[in-house]
């Protein structure tokens, strides 16, 4: 620790720095003065939208060496005008969390362990199950012969992290497939 100097006496600092009320530079510790904002070290800033909920607050993503170093509210957003709630403010931890899953994980029926799957295999498995469930739950007519042309084998429940465009596409896809139970957490 550096030796204490009389010049560090708070009252003297208030006089010398012009911070008469002691609410600015005069009351900063040496350690605080050495701290540099993560924003200051970023080499670029990218505008984005918070992924957590349907409010869609604007974000400024600070990037250094192609790595996200900080995320803050975007004052240019007409929705949030620079504000983020605690979840949105912690988005940087969502990106850089060492526990973040970056691989597709699969636990087979009756298995006790998870295994990694490559993306093509996972998509094929999902498509196979989707088609089988659609076929299995298909209803062509009701008991009076009236046309139904729907499947009761598929339901969709979206989460609040889905945005308008994703919800639009999900609704289109599932309705075209004949599903009628299409819901979203925000509506429930
Ligand atoms: S989680 Fe918070 S910051 Fe993110 S969009 Fe919703 S209200 Fe905005």
117-169 tens-digit pLDDT: 999 999 999 999 999 999 999 999 999 999 999 999 999 998 877 878 888 99
Distance CA 102, CA 104 (A): 7
pLDDT value of residue 108: 95
Of 2-11, 12-21, 69-78, 172-181, least confident by mean pLDDT is: 2-11
Residues 115 and 170 reside in one and the same domain: yes
Question: C-alpha angle 51/57/62, rounded to 5°?
Answer: 75
Number of domains in the chain: 3
Strand ordering across the sheet containing 67-73: 44-49, 58-64, 67-73
pLDDT of residue 174: 96
pLDDT at 1: 58
Q: Mutation test of ligand 1: which of 49, 50, 160 has the most ligand atoms closer than 8 Å to its C-beta?
A: 50
- Examine the domain organization and report whether 116 and 177 are in the same domain: yes
Residue 54: band (very low, low, confident or very high) from pLDDT cuts 50, 70, 90: confident
Cα 182 from Cα 158, distance rounded (Å) = 8
Residue 46: which of 65, 60, 67 has the closest Cα? 60
pLDDT of amino acid 33: 86
- Indicate the average pLDDT of the chain: 91
* Spatial contact of 73 and 55, defined as CB atoms under 8 Å apart: no
Please state, in angstroms and rounded to a whole number, the distance separating the CA atoms of residues 124 and 69.
Answer: 36
Q: CATH code at 77?
A: 2.20.25.90
Same-domain check for residues 45 and 31? no
Give me the domain span that covers residue 126: 104-184
Residue 188 has pLDDT above 60, yes or no: no
Residues 131 and 142 in one domain: yes
Q: In what helix (H) or strand (E) does residue 7 lie, and over which residues does it extend? A: none
Residues 57 and 82 both lie in one domain: yes
Rounded to whole angstroms, the Cα distance separating 10 from 7 reads 8
Specify the pLDDT at position 12: 87
Same domain, 85 and 136: no
Give pLDDT, residue 187. 67
In a shared domain, residues 109 and 149: yes
Yes or no: say if 175 and 149 are a contact pair by the CB < 8 Å rule.
Answer: no
User: What is the distance between the alpha carbons of residues 132 and 93, in angstroms, rounded to a whole number?
Assistant: 39
Q: What is the mean pLDDT of residues 85-98?
A: 94
Domain shared by 67 and 110, yes or no: no
Q: Do 52 and 117 reside in the same domain of the chain?
A: no
Residues 11 and 70 in one domain: no
Amino acid 64: pLDDT: 95
Task: Report H helices in 42-85.
Answer: none
Q: Are residues 77 and 127 in the same domain?
A: no
Do 24 and 71 lie in a common domain? Answer: no
119 alpha carbon – ligand 1 mean position (Å): 30
From 84, 89, 93, the mutation candidate for ligand 1 (largest count of ligand atoms within 8 A of CB) is 84
């Amino acid at each position: 620790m550096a030796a204490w100097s009389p010049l560090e006496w708070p009252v003297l600092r208030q006089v010398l720095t012009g911070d008469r009320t002691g609410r600015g530079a005069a009351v900063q510790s040496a350690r605080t003065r050495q701290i540099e904002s993560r924003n200051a070290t970023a080499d670029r800033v990218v505008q984005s939208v918070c992924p957590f909920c349907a409010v869609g607050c604007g974000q400024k993503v600070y990037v250094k060496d192609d790595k996200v170093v900080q995320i803050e509210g975007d004052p240019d957003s007409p929705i949030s005008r620079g504000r983020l709630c605690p979840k949105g403010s912690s988005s940087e931890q969502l990106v850089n969390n060492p526990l973040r899953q970056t691989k597709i994980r699969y636990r087979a029926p009756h298995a006790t362990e998870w295994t990694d799957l490559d993306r093509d295999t996972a998509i094929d498995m999902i498509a196979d199950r989707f088609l089988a469930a659609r076929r299995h739950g298909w209803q062509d007519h009701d008991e009076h012969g009236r046309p139904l042309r729907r499947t009761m084998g598929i339901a969709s429940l979206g989460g609040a992290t889905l945005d308008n465009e994703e919800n639009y596409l999900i609704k289109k896809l599932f309705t075209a497939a004949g599903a009628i139970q299409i819901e979203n957490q925000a509506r429930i």
